[in-house]
């Protein structure tokens, strides 16, 4: 590979990568159609489903509004989907907003005061709410009450306003960023995990049915294995493979078609894309597997430091292909194997240096 080639291209953003986990415009358009509508249709996340099922059933049996629910997990794992399922299971209306949309406490007061009894308020990216709004939310969650401030300066007065009982469903990709007082006010917290390949296969079969695409089990397995544990990516790869199958074959998806299509899009057998592989290749071929500093690695692949650190590395680390050590980035033995290269003597891929991995 010629490294100069990569420097001419704009740094890929997380959103426009085929294997990026956040939703692009096309995803948003089709996701509504692909969303499971109730808990039975929701695939995987067995523990979360079982626990949530109990919470919702008990509330229904008591004729009460369900406790506030916090959903935490990486992008594309089904947080928005689950919030809609919660409303559907409670036969309640749902209001959808997000932390960044609520800049002033007044914005939140307006939403809260217009909620109906039992309504689900879905607050996406709850960790990005402003401080004053957050403090108003504490009281609303606990006492179903807000203080609306009327007037300015010394003459300002707080008018207490009673709220109907409602269920707050908060979603965050970073549960650790939530202040403890906020976290503690949720009656139930669900941590969503990455999905197993077998679960993603089920997601792909389900979506194929809805999109009217013919796919055999081996084709679904091929796509699932490249979907990085994320249903949103599985659905996106499925749509690209469908395109290929329509243009290059008879529309039916099998293993060969799926592999060939994803080869065209440079998504490899493990779900790494061009950027991921460029980082690994530089680490292995130019720096002998490291340790090498992040800045040096970024220059070598012609990308911004942040792109390498935030876009490529998290998945490489999760996959056990790259390790961040105090001395720099280091390739693991699995990285050498994945690129079909042999580690030079004395490198982790060969023997020794196991200390770098804490062994």
The binder of ligand ATP chosen from 20, 52, 69, 80 (CB under 6 A):
80
99 binds ligand ATP (CB under 6 A): no
- In the annotation, is 230 catalytic? no
76 binds ligand ATP (CB under 6 A): yes
Stretch that binds ligand ATP, among 32-40, 152-160, 213-221, 270-278 (CB under 6 A): 32-40
Q: Which residues make beta-bridge pairs with 147?
A: 160
The smaller minimum CB distance to ligand ATP, of residues 75 and 197, is found at: 75
- Cα separation, 213 vs 208, in Å, equals 5
- In the annotation, is 232 catalytic? yes
314 binds ligand ATP (CB under 6 A): no
x-marked contacts with Mg ion along 40-79 as a string, rule CB under 5 A: ---------------------------------------x
Count Cβ atoms within 10 A of the Cβ of residue 140 and give its class: 0-12 exposed, 13-18 middle, 19 or more buried. buried
∠ CA(200), CA(202), CA(203), 5° rounding?
60
79 binds ligand ATP (CB under 6 A): yes
The binder of ligand ATP chosen from 81, 167, 208, 227 (CB under 6 A):
81
Stretch that binds ligand ATP, among 38-46, 93-101, 265-273, 332-340 (CB under 6 A): 38-46
Q: Which residues make beta-bridge pairs with 39?
A: none
From Mg ion, ligand ATP, none, interface partner of 44 (C-beta below 5 to 8 A by class): ligand ATP
9-23 burial code (b ≥16 CB/10 A, e <16): eebbebeebbbbbeb
72 binds ligand ATP (CB under 6 A): no
| Backbone phi, psi, residue 148, to 5° | -90, 125
Residue whose C-alpha is closest to residue 237's, from 213, 212, 204: 204
The smaller minimum CB distance to ligand ATP, of residues 240 and 285, is found at: 240
Centre a 10 Å sphere on the Cβ of residue 326 and count the other Cβ atoms it contains.
6
The smaller minimum CB distance to ligand ATP, of residues 27 and 281, is found at: 27
Cβ–Cβ under 8 Å, residues 244 and 236 = no
DSSP 292: B
The smaller minimum CB distance to Mg ion, of residues 73 and 349, is found at: 73
- Angstrom CA distances, 129 to 67, 217, 333, stand at 21, 43, 42
Of the residues 79, 236, 242, 277, only one is catalytic, namely 79
43 binds ligand ATP (CB under 6 A): yes
127 binds ligand ATP (CB under 6 A): no
- Cα separation, 126 vs 144, in Å, equals 18
- Cα separation, 170 vs 186, in Å, equals 9
The smaller minimum CB distance to ligand ATP, of residues 82 and 253, is found at: 82
80 binds Mg ion (CB under 5 A): yes
The smaller minimum CB distance to ligand ATP, of residues 30 and 161, is found at: 30
- E strands in the chain: 69-72, 94-98, 120-124, 145-150, 157-162, 167-172, 188-191, 322-325, 328-331
**To the nearest whole angstrom, how small is the minimum distance from the Cβ of residue 220 to ligand ATP?**
13
Residue whose C-alpha is closest to residue 170's, from 232, 138, 131, 127: 127
From ligand ATP, Mg ion, none, interface partner of 12 (C-beta below 5 to 8 A by class): none
- In the annotation, is 274 catalytic? no
- Contacts of ligand ATP in 145-204 (CB under 6 A): 173, 203
350 binds ligand ATP (CB under 6 A): no
**To the nearest whole angstrom, how small is the minimum distance from the Cβ of residue 267 to ligand ATP?**
17
- Cα separation, 50 vs 57, in Å, equals 11
Given the rule CB under 5 A, which residues bind Mg ion?
Answer: 79-80
Given the rule CB under 6 A, which residues bind ligand ATP?
Answer: 22-23, 31, 34-36, 42-45, 75-81, 173, 203, 231-232, 235
Catalytic residue set:
79-80, 124, 173, 232
């Amino acid at each position: 590979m010629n490294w100069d080639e990569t420097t001419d291209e704009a740094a890929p953003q997380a959103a426009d990568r085929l294997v990026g986990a956040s939703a692009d415009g096309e995803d948003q358009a089709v996701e509504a159609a692909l969303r499971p509508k109730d808990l039975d249709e929701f695939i995987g996340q067995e523990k979360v489903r079982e626990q949530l099922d109990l919470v919702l059933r008990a509330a229904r049996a008591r004729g009460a509004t369900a406790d506030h629910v916090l959903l935490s997990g990486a992008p594309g794992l089904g947080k928005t989907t689950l919030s809609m399922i919660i409303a559907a299971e409670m036969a309640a209306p749902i209001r959808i907003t997000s932390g960044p949309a609520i800049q002033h406490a007044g914005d939140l007061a307006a939403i809260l005061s217009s909620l109906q009894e039992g309504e689900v308020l879905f607050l996406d990216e709850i960790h990005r709410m402003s401080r004053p709004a957050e403090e108003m939310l504490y009281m609303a969650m606990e006492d179903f009450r807000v203080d609306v401030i009327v007037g300015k300066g010394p003459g300002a007065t707080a008018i207490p306003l009673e709220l109907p009982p409602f269920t707050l469903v908060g979603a965050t990709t970073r549960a650790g960023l939530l202040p403890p007082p906020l976290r503690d006010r949720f009656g139930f917290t669900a941590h969503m995990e990455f999905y197993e390949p077998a679960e993603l296969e089920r997601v792909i079969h389900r979506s194929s049915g809805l999109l009217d695409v013919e796919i055999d089990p081996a084709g679904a397995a091929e796509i699932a294995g490249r979907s990085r544990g994320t249903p949103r990516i599985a659905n996106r790869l499925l749509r690209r493979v469908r395109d290929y199958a329509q243009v290059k074959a008879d529309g039916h998806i099998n293993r060969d078609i799926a592999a060939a299509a994803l080869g065209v899009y440079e998504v490899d057998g493990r779900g790494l894309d061009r950027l991921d592989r460029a980082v690994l290749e530089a680490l292995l071929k130019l720096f002998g597997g490291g340790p090498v500093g992040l800045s040096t690695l970024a220059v070598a692949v012609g990308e911004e430091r942040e792109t390498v650190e935030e876009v490529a590395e998290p998945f490489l680390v999760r996959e056990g292909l790259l390790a961040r050590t105090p001395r720099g980035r280091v390739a693991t033995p699995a990285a050498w194997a994945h690129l079909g290269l042999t580690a030079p003597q004395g490198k982790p891929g060969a023997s020794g240096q196991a200390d770098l991995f804490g062994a």
